[in-house]
Amino acid sequence: MSTLLSVVLILLLLGGIGLVVYGILLYNGLIQVKHNVDQAWANIDVLLKQRHDELPKLIDTVRSYMVYEQDLMTRLTELRARTGSGSSDPATLQAEEALSSGLGRLFAVAENYPDLKANQNFLQLQGRMSGLEEQISHRREFYNQAVNINNVRKEQFPDALLAGTAGIVPRALFEATAQEKADIVIGDRLKI
C-alpha cells in the first residue's frame, strides 16, 4: 500500500511540476507575442518618422509650383502634424492612412506640372517618398500579422487564462480606409 501511495504522490508531483512548467511556457509565449506587436509597430514608426522628416522638404519643393493646390498642401501639413505622436492607437493609424492617400494624390496632381516633374529635387524626393511608402506598406503587413497573433492568443484557450496577467490587450489592425478602397475618380484627385 505504501508503494502505491508513493507512486501516486510521485505522479501528482510530476503532474504539478508539468503544469507549472506548461504555465511558465505559456506565459513566456504570450509575453513574446506582446513584444512582437510592439516591435512591429516600432519598425513602422521608424519609417513614419523618416517620412515625416522628408515631407516638409517635398512640400516646400512642390509649393512653389503648385499655387492652385494650396488646400492639398495645407491638408498634408495638417495630417503630418496629427500623425507625429508615434503611437499605434486607431486615430493615429487612420491619420497615417490619410497621409499616405494624400501623398498619392500629390504625386497624381504633380503630373499637371511639367516644370515640377522635371525638377531634380522633386524627382529625388518623390522617389524617396515612394520608397518609404512601399517599405511602410510591407511593415504594415508584418504589424497586422503580429496583431492578429496577439488578438487570437488573447481569446484562445488556455492562453486567455494568462493573457491579462501577461498584459495582452486587443490591438487595432492597420486597415485601408473606405476612401482608399474606392475607385479613383480623376476629379477627386485634388481632394483629400
187 pLDDT above the threshold of 50: no
Q: Spell out the domains of the chain, with CATH numbers in brackets.
A: 2-190 (1.20.1440.20)
User: Please, what is the average pLDDT of the chain?
Assistant: 80
With bands split at pLDDT 50, 70 and 90, how would you rate the model's confidence at 154? Answer: very high
Question: For position 188, what pLDDT does the model report?
Answer: 44
SS3 per-residue string spanning the chain = CHHHHHHHHHHHHHHHHHHHHHHHHHHHHHHHHHHHHHHHHHHHHHHHHHHHHHHHHHHHHHHCCCCCCHHHHHHHHHHHHHCCCCCCCHHHHHHHHHHHHHHHHHHHHHCCCHHHHHCHHHHHHHHHHHHHHHHHHHHHHHHHHHHHHHHHHHHCCCHHHHHCCCCCCCCCCCCCCHHHHCCCCHHHHHCC
Classify residue 44 as exposed, middle or buried by CB count within 10 Å of its CB (0-12, 13-18, 19+): buried
Inter-axis angle of helices 2-63 and 120-155, nearest 10: 160
60-111 pLDDT per residue, tens: 777 766 665 666 777 777 777 777 656 667 777 777 777 777 777 777 777 7
pLDDT in tens, 117-126: 667 777 787 8
Q: Cα(42)–Cα(142) distance, rounded to whole angstroms?
A: 11
Judged against a pLDDT cut of 90, whether residue 17 lies above it is answered with: yes
Q: How far apart are alpha carbons 24 and 1 in whole angstroms?
A: 35
Helices 90-110 + 2-63 axis angle, to 10: 30
Lowest-pLDDT choice from 96-110, 125-139, 159-173 = 96-110
Contact 133, 103 (CB under 8 A): yes
pLDDT above 70: percentage of residues in the chain: 81
Distance, CA of 100 to CA of 187 (rounded, Å): 19
